[in-house]
Structure 1
Amino acid sequence: MKIAFLDRDGTLIFEPPDTKQIDSIEKLKILPGVIDGLKKLQADGFQLVMVSNQDGLGSATFPKKCFTAAQNEFLKRLKKEGIEFYKICICPDRKEDNCNCRKPKTGLVDSFLKKENINREQSFVLGDRATDMEFAQNIGVAGFKMQTNGAFPRIATVQRTTKETNINIACNLDGQGNFRIDTGLGFFNHLLEQFSKHSLIDLAITARGDLEIDEHHTIEDTALCLGECLAKALGERKGIQRYGFLLPMDDTLVEVAIDLGGRPYFIFDAKFTREYVGDMPTEMIEHFFKSLSDALKANIHLKVRYSKNTHHQAEAIFKAFSKAMRQAVDADPRAPNILPSTKGIL
């Protein structure tokens, strides 16, 4: 079972900056993208679980009937759209009460986690506070942080299991460059961390491959999974910049151009003077991006103009690609929800 653990106030509905309470139906405002985002998660097989701290719920300053009226109306509106929560967990305590159920503590979900067969590598927490990210860490799933009262982020997960590898990837295109990556290959981890950091795409990657044979299958299948995950998060690719970079790193200059137009093509112009950097074969860098291009359905042109250091060359390639991706996936404020093509499809 895949679970999307979702915060409520500031994540799904508008949180008033002054009172931080939604205590009437009049204050209920569903945030942009929430309906479509939740529908997409359900269609992708996620069960939705709400986990929310409601300070002083049931007190004189926050009567339970006021909360219930707004909460029921929220759930009613979602149900009309075909969206239902598998479980709803509410903590009514204040921080000073020092209870065991208030996030980031896990008391609200401990029994649920023990009872249900949850795929933690494919599950995640979405919230707008640091405590939500701590909560994600405490229950052993990826954490995706969004801006308070911001638009619902573009999130996707992919799992690929073969006789050679088992890959789990979760991504948030609208992230902050946070990552949790373990492929069993130190330098490959480092390059993927660079991609996340410089693209601002949150990534959670766990890859288990037949490294006792060689590195090929692990790197190739991670690339295929990553491309598929990014493509899934992009969805119909409406409202994106679409195109995206020259990036210098000491002695190295790399040029990357990308088009997320839905047609894969790949040009790679780089020569390596070392067979390995750390535990990663340099020949697999080209193969990684070719596999990524195919799965992402992207046109990628990558050229190393000059370099004297193979480590810098490999790292600059991933950083330049990251910057190009960041530019290409960013929302275009002048063309929201508009497909960046005259063909009518990407």
Structure 2
Amino acid sequence: MPQKILFIDRDGVLIDEPADEQIDAFEKFRLTPGCIAALQQLRDAGFQFVMVSNQDGLGTPGFPREAFEGPQRLLLQILGSQGITFREVLIDASFAHENKPTRKPGIGMVMHYLRDRDIDLAASAMVGDRETDLQFATNLGVRGFRLKDGHHDWAGIAHALTASPRIARIDRVTKETRISVRVELDRACEPAIATGLGFFDHMLEQLGKHGGFGLAVRCAGDLHIDEHHTVEDCALAIGQALKQALGDKRGIGRYGYDGGEGQGRDSAQVDAGAFGDAARAAFALPMDETRAAAVIDFSGRPYFVFEGTFPRAEVGGLATELVPHFFRSLCETAGLNLHLQVRGENTHHMVEACFKVVARALRQAIRREGTALPSTKGLL
């Protein structure tokens, strides 16, 4: 997973800047309000930190290096005690009139980040207190935030970088289908589905509606042959969009097993006699005589298990053999582990219950619960 970097100015951003704009004594040292809590939130959201600071004339008689080093060590010690460390500390000691490329807004000190393919500059940002810091951000190609009254504070910056909307659009074009999918995970809205298959449209509407996220799907497929390519490719595109919108998956619930909000666990719990011992931790969704159960894990490891037999080979122009195939294809591109079980007598009810129960499990799994990564591996 590409690494996000937060480039941070020092004076006026981490430390309040005194009137003489030079922190050369401990008496001048004071942390900016809210910086520690915000940096901890950003750290937990996957950011690494790089300090980038202009220190005019550092090392000259007017600004001896030893006068700088004491407050600098104190800053690093305080932040380090709170779990905030820096990938690099980059200091330019030149004066403005020297016009050195290493002095902000020049990016000479950070050129190696432009060459590093493991760095996600599109997701990275710069926090500074001056216009030169914003120009530095523009020159580097990252988002810029100005920490100053009337602009941004630390809490607002942390929120903007960690709570941004999770939106993705996927366009998939093959010789068999042309598909456009858009998902918006943090906004519930009416699904907009058009695949040329009325019953399949109805099922995808269940996925978005009961999943609690925005879902739009447009597909022009080779239905003159049959519905297979349309169903399969829509699943692949939706899975890809889910994976892209989730990003590094920090803060998500990850697991989904609830058959629906408002249903108590006792009433919705799957009994082992109905679905076997493996389903004891699952929850069911009823639809008349039908009961479906789903458990999911956004583990990054695609795996699909299906238990159930449909009484009819076709419903609404959709071959029922394509129902498990849809979910298997969804798992492949979403990096999803899904166990799905269904029993019933009415094929329409059984298929619809499958889509609804997977949707409700997705709702739980994609829900934001903080900023931490739900894995001991450090990667999902």
TM-score relative to the length of structure 1: 0.58
- Answer whether contact 1:198 1:319 (CA < 8 A) is retained: yes
171-180 vs 222-231, greater mean Cα deviation: 171-180
Partner of 2:295: 257
Separation in 2, partners of 1:235, 1:164: 29
Partner of 2:356: 319
Separation in 2, partners of 1:180, 1:264: 27
Separation in 2, partners of 1:262, 1:230: 12
- Answer whether contact 1:256 1:324 (CA < 8 A) is retained: yes
What amino acid maps onto 2:138 in structure 1? K
Partner of 1:214: 226
Is 2:187 aligned against 1:175? yes
Separation in 1, partners of 2:349, 2:137: 50
CA distance 1:216–1:76, change in 2 (3 Å): same
Provide structure 2 residue ranges, at least 5 long, that are not aligned to the other structure.
1-40, 48-118, 124-130, 144-161, 259-283
Partner of 2:317: 279
Identity of aligned residues (%): 48
Residue from 320, 323, 338 that aligns with 1:300: 338
Separation in 2, partners of 1:307, 1:205: 29
CA distance 1:255–1:162, change in 2 (3 Å): same
Partner of 2:156: none
Alignment of 1:193-272 (within 5 A): 193-244=205-256, 245=258, 246-272=284-310
- Answer whether contact 2:121 2:141 (CA < 8 A) is retained: no
CA distance 1:339–1:215, change in 2 (3 Å): same
Task: Give deviations 1:209-239, integer Å, cap 9, x for gaps.
Answer: 1000000001000101111110111111111
- Answer whether contact 1:178 1:200 (CA < 8 A) is retained: no
- Answer whether contact 1:156 1:233 (CA < 8 A) is retained: yes
Separation in 2, partners of 1:185, 1:300: 25
CA distance 1:340–1:162, change in 2 (3 Å): same
What amino acid maps onto 1:260 in structure 2? F
What amino acid maps onto 2:232 in structure 1? E
- Answer whether contact 1:177 1:199 (CA < 8 A) is retained: no
Residue from 71, 74, 82 that aligns with 2:141: 82
- How far has the Cα of 1:201 moved from its partner? 1.3
What amino acid maps onto 1:242 in structure 2? R
SS at structure 1 position matched to 2:255: coil
What amino acid maps onto 1:293 in structure 2? C
CA distance 1:41–1:294, change in 2 (3 Å): farther
Separation in 1, partners of 2:251, 2:142: 24
Alignment of 1:1-346 (within 5 A): 79=138, 82-83=141-142, 151-244=163-256, 245=258, 246-304=284-342, 306-333=343-370, 336=371, 338-346=372-380
Separation in 1, partners of 2:140, 2:167: 20
Separation in 2, partners of 1:249, 1:209: 31
Task: Give the aligned CA root-mean-square deviation in angstroms.
Answer: 3.3
Separation in 2, partners of 1:166, 1:78: 38
Task: Give deviations 1:258-304, integer Å, cap 9, x for gaps.
Answer: 00011011100111111221121111101000101111111100001
Separation in 1, partners of 2:194, 2:237: 14
- Answer whether contact 2:168 2:242 (CA < 8 A) is retained: yes
- Answer whether contact 2:296 2:362 (CA < 8 A) is retained: yes
CA distance 1:40–1:158, change in 2 (3 Å): farther
| Higher alpha-carbon Rg | 2
The number of aligned residues is 222
What amino acid maps onto 2:183 in structure 1? C
TM-score relative to the length of structure 2: 0.53
